[in-house]
Structure 1
């Protein structure tokens, strides 16, 4: 069960910052630690109503979450996308042009770039609302409403498969990797991105609301780099690259309450920790 409590989250950021100070990450560690302890005392002494109650959030299915996001997904600034997207695009730019699949395509941000690069693009997603937005952006692309674990596509059809920020929502990786392998041509390229497990432990679990407006959270499996390798390598997918882009400095980490109560701690907790993981595999 996921809980939501602003005070607990802020104290957690302070704790991570203190652990980093204990590890010697800051030149003036003693002063830094004293400042963190002073902020903790101030938060504990404040009116606790400001932070709200401890709330248990229900798990939402992925399609419910993305239905909620669909009307604002492209308008909101997403710091994870800002970190992930340049890395994915830098890989795509090196690949031969051909037929490309954007799996779990969402509103089509990577599909649009594939079109720009000259690829013939197909998109698959489980959210009808997201697919409608992608179709508007790419009228010449072909789209399918479906599950990426069992895609309505021919075998050995694609030169490139991209799947971005989606695998954390799955409870196992074997099925989807078998599908990626199946639809790729021999020699084809698979580019995957996902939220990094370290970011999930820093509060990166996605939240959304259900049809009645009740808050909840999306599934968030904690995949380690070894999980991807243990799944991909036995299928004959060869690793061509792996990048773990990191969070930068002060980019509003932790949200508005963190910026009010503990901005230095929030920046310290996130700075230089892995934000995403991006894989480049090739089918043998």
Structure 2
């Protein structure tokens, strides 16, 4: 179980902001530090915060989380899609599509595997570019959405460590915002290497580990109404490199994309919007951010997603 308390989160935001000022980040001057110390005192004197009982949260509810999220997964509001998808598509466009070989005969259409395909948001642009796409996901509800979106595309139930795809059969593997749910990156990268042909390409986007640390985690509500979180891991750049290099990949490109953060709105794409109320646990941390906007702006000044282009030797 995880114990989450709104005052603890807000004090954490203040602490991260003060550490950035301590390190000399631009604009975080004496006035900023003095304001943060005064704000901490106000937070500690706020009876609504200090009297809050906090929330006990269950871990490892990934299946439930995506079952509940599937119908609204593609709705506007997930700003991470706006960050990773343009980079993924740019990398795909840099590749030479149409180099697939099926049964020893060039068929003019490359084969792409969308691993942890979800609702097919990355499969769709691959289909548009002429790839024969096989989507794989472990959530029946997400697969149902993908099949409705792309009725002529093959979508299969499967696990990232046991893809229902033949050896050496894919020219391209993509996976979007999914590996944060995986504990052992090595086994997943080994599976990607198995299904790719020599020289094949792998494009991976994932949630940046700092964003996970700040509370951007997929939530669920259990059968008795209890708070739950999807299984989530904070994989560093080094974790990805070790897994990729050990399984025969070399890095072609790496990007870290930050959230846009204009001064008037630290998290413009957050859903629900930051408010000046504590709000319900299901809306944390987003509703809390409006309580400490300047600290939030400083603490959340970091990458939100990572995108890798790797090629199998």
Query: Hey, what's the Cα distance between the residues in 2 that align with 1:78 and 1:110?
Result: 14
Q: Does the 8 Å contact 1:3/1:54 carry over to 2? A: yes
Q: SS state of the match for residue 101, structure 1? A: strand
Query: Hey, what's the Cα distance between the residues in 2 that align with 1:130 and 1:68?
Result: 10
- List structure 1 segments (4+ residues) > 4 angstroms apart after TM superposition: none
In the alignment, which of 293, 297, 307 is matched to residue 267 of structure 1?
297
1:208 matched to which residue of 2? 220
Q: Normalising by structure 1, what TM-score?
A: 0.93
CA gap of 1:257–1:121, structure 2 versus 1, over 3 A, is: same
1:218 matched to which residue of 2? 230
Greater Cα offset, 248-257 or 148-157: 248-257
1:279 matched to which residue of 2? 308
Query: Hey, what's the Cα distance between the residues in 2 that align with 1:117 and 1:3?
Result: 46
Gaps (5+ residues) in structure 2? 98-109, 271-284
2:247 matched to which residue of 1? 235
1:33 matched to which residue of 2? 33
CA gap of 1:49–1:239, structure 2 versus 1, over 3 A, is: closer
Deviation at 1:180, TM superposition (A): 0.4
1:14 matched to which residue of 2? 14
2:286 matched to which residue of 1? 255
Q: SS state of the match for residue 243, structure 1? A: strand
In the alignment, which of 113, 136, 139 is matched to residue 124 of structure 1?
136
RMSD in angstroms over aligned alpha carbons? 1.7
Q: Does the 8 Å contact 1:237/1:281 carry over to 2? A: yes
Q: SS state of the match for residue 219, structure 1? A: coil
1:146-185 equivalent positions in 2, closer than 5 A: 146-185=158-197
Deviation at 1:231, TM superposition (A): 1.5
CA gap of 1:228–1:64, structure 2 versus 1, over 3 A, is: same
2:84 matched to which residue of 1? 84
Gaps (5+ residues) in structure 1? none
Give the paired residue count: 282
* In the alignment, structure 1 residue 5 sits paired with structure 2 residue 35: no
2:277 matched to which residue of 1? none
Deviation at 1:212, TM superposition (A): 3.7
Deviation at 1:195, TM superposition (A): 1.0
Greater Cα offset, 16-25 or 212-221: 212-221
Query: Hey, what's the Cα distance between the residues in 2 that align with 1:162 and 1:51?
Result: 47
Please list the CA deviations of residues 173-218 of structure 1 after superposition, one character each: whole Å capped at 9, or x if unmatched: 1221111001111111000111111112212232222344321111
Q: SS state of the match for residue 96, structure 1? A: coil
Query: Hey, what's the Cα distance between the residues in 1 that align with 2:236 and 2:51?
Result: 32
Query: Hey, what's the Cα distance between the residues in 2 that align with 1:215 and 1:72?
Result: 19
2:280 matched to which residue of 1? none
Query: Hey, what's the Cα distance between the residues in 1 that align with 2:26 and 2:141?
Result: 46
Q: Normalising by structure 2, what TM-score?
A: 0.85
